[in-house]
Structure formats: C-alpha cells, structure tokens
Structure 1
Amino acid sequence: MPAVRTCRYPNCHNLVTIDHYYCEQHRALEADYLKSRMKYHGTHKRGYSRHYNAINRHANKIKDAQEKFYHSKQWQELRRVVLDKQHYLCQYCLSEGRVKPAKIVDHCVPITFDPSKADDADNLDVICPECHYKKDKFESVYYGSSDGVGRNDVDPITEVKLVDYYMNHLDQIPKA
C-alpha cells in the first residue's frame, strides 16, 4: 500500500498519495501550493549554517561542551528516563496545581553554574515551553550569564515550588 497523507485543503479529510498534497476534488490548488513552497526553497544556504554554528552554537568552549553533551547517548537515555519518571508533565505547572503535558527536560540548577550536576537525574525536571522561557529569565537574573563569565555567587535553588515562585516574581529574587 502506498504512503498516504490527508488533503491540505481545510477540513478536507480525504487521503492522497504522498506525491500529492491535495485530493482529486482540490487538485487545482496544488500548482499554487508548490509555487509558494519554492519561494522559500534554498533560502538558508550552507554559509548560513556555518555562520550560525560559529557565532551561536560553538561560540565558546562551554557552549561547545554543552552541544556535545546534549547530543550524547548518555543524555538521550537520561532524558528518556526523566520523561518516563515524571510522566511527560510539566513539574512547574504541577506545583501550581495545573496539569500540562511537556517534552522538554531541563536542569534545575543550570550546568553552566554547576557542571558536576549535568548527568544527575535528581537535577532534571520536565518543563513546558512557557515555563522554560520564564525559567531562563529567572536563571539569567539569579545565576548570572549563561556563558559562566558573569556568574553570581549564590546558593543553588533545587526546590521546584520555590523556583516556580521566583520565575513568576522576578522582582522578589534574592540578591547575591
């Protein structure tokens, strides 16, 4: 049986073979769709990726080491264990009494602050994208910069409920 997908026309649930995007009824729209896709084809050339890697991904030795760690088999296995243990639910939303599914695994104490806790399962929590954004802001204020240069001399906070409180009340974060 050939591979199939649903028609791209809104609310049309007809199946089409993978080499087409629209069913027989809406096939007239396919040429315009393919033309619009070609507008973005090849916009990111190889030079773009090389520039991105040099400036953002491998900006310094700390970022380079993080990149290698997050692509290792050790991290992939650890991440899967934490997701299964915490049932794919955001721990920060749970601390407020909300149930929200999530797939991001985040270090409670950032590894730029304490690299020894990089592979510690007790330092990992499942977090949703909204909470992750707020937690990144909290970490930059409390722990300092993520490159390790402007690091604050503070005690690490490991309690999810307290981190959740501070990430929602940035003005009440204790100063170093």
Structure 2
Amino acid sequence: MPRYRRCRQPECHAMVKYPNHYCAKHFEYEAEYLANRQRWARKHAEQYQHHDKRYAKHYNTVTRNRNEERSDQYKFYRSRQWVGLRESTLDHDHYLCQYCKAYGKLTPNSKTVDHIVPIAYNSELKADSSNLATICRECHRLKTQWEQSYYGTGQNIAKKDVPEIHDIQRIVILMRKK
C-alpha cells in the first residue's frame, strides 16, 4: 500500500504520494524545495556528523561498554541466538504483554522481550526461553524500576543477595505495589 502525506503548500490539504512533497496543483515548488533541502543538508552535514560521532563514542565508552559484563550483554543482544529466542517468544506469547495479562489486561502488539530474572543479576539465564516474556513499554518501565530496587541492577547500584523470582504474577504484584 503506497504511503501518502499532505502537500507542503500552506493551506493546501491535498494528499501526495511519497516521495513527492507537493500535489499536482503546486508541483512547481517541488524542485525548489528539494534544492533548499540539499543546500541545508550540505551546510549542516559536518556539524551534525561531528556531533553524532562524538556522542556515540561517549555513549559507547561510558554506558554501553562501561565494563566487560555490559559489553558481553550488548554482543548477546546482537547475536543470531537472541534474534531466534526473541522471535520464538513473541510468537509463543502472541505479541501480548504477559505482565498486563497477569494483571488482567490485554495489551496487544507488544514487541519487547524481557528477561524475567534480569541477566545483570543472573547471566546464566540469558538464553533460557523459560526466562523470557513479552512485555509492553509501560510494564517494562515499571519492571526496570522494580528490578533496580529489588535486585540492585542498574548503573552504580550494588547487587543484592535476594532470591530470584520467576513467577510473573508475583512480579506484577510487587512492581505495581506503591
């Protein structure tokens, strides 16, 4: 199915097929618009390219690969093994958030796969399909906050010696408790 967008001419509400920016009535402005975009991109390319490289280098050294454990986690999430585990988990859970489901709510089209027991706490469970569940954004945010307080996962937080919880129902109760 082709994609459409609105004509860029002010007060014109005609729909235009991608990749065009103007409708047939205002098509005369298309070449000028594209030339201006290219001129702007050339003028600002170095400024933005330099910033992106500097930020990426800083992020990679300070956050993503701050230690050997985090570097291994990052590599795992880019592996074929993870891609296969993720797909099979999404198919098994029918793209439904398992945490919302345990709470009595159906949240379709959830595309994130979560480790029930975080791999930062127990890395031996990272490839265990019984430790994976589909999760929506809201539940992922709540669960991450709960994991940081319960397990002590996260940056600059000391890990706690607590029992692992594998039951989603119990995790939902604990993470939604205020």
TM-score, structure 2 normalization: 0.80
1:22 correspondence with 2:22: yes
Candidates 106, 112, 133, aligned match of 1:125? 133
**SS of match in other structure, 1:7:** strand
**RMSD of aligned alpha carbons:** 3.0
AA matched with 2:71: D
Pair 1:63–1:25, CA change in 2 (3 A) = farther
Structure 1 residue ranges without an equivalent (≥5): 171-176
**SS of match in other structure, 2:6:** coil
1:67 correspondence with 2:74: yes
Candidates 146, 151, 159, aligned match of 2:167? 159
Q: Report the structure, 1 or 2, having the larger helix content.
A: 2
1:107 correspondence with 2:97: no
AA matched with 1:112: A
What is the CA distance between 1:25 and its match in structure 2?
A: 4.4
What is the CA distance between 1:156 and its match in structure 2?
A: 0.6
What is the CA distance between 1:21 and its match in structure 2?
A: 2.7
Q: What is the rounded CA distance, in whole Å, between the counterparts of 2:103 and 2:7 in structure 1?
A: 40
> 1:26-105 maps to which residues of 2 (within 5 A)?
31=33, 34=37, 42=48, 44-101=51-108, 102-105=110-113
What is the CA distance between 1:70 and its match in structure 2?
A: 0.2
Check the 8 A contact 1:14/1:23 in 2, yes or no.
yes
Question: How high is the sequence identity, in percent, across the aligned residues?
Answer: 35
What is the CA distance between 1:45 and its match in structure 2?
A: 2.9
AA matched with 1:14: M
* Bigger Rg, which one: 2
**SS of match in other structure, 1:106:** strand
How many correspondences in the alignment? 166
Residue in 1 aligned with 2:176?
168
Give CA deviations for 1:60-101 in whole Å, capped at 9, x if unaligned: 111101000000000000000000000000011111221112
Pair 1:8–1:67, CA change in 2 (3 A) = farther
Pair 1:13–1:152, CA change in 2 (3 A) = farther
Candidates 3, 6, 13, aligned match of 2:4? 6
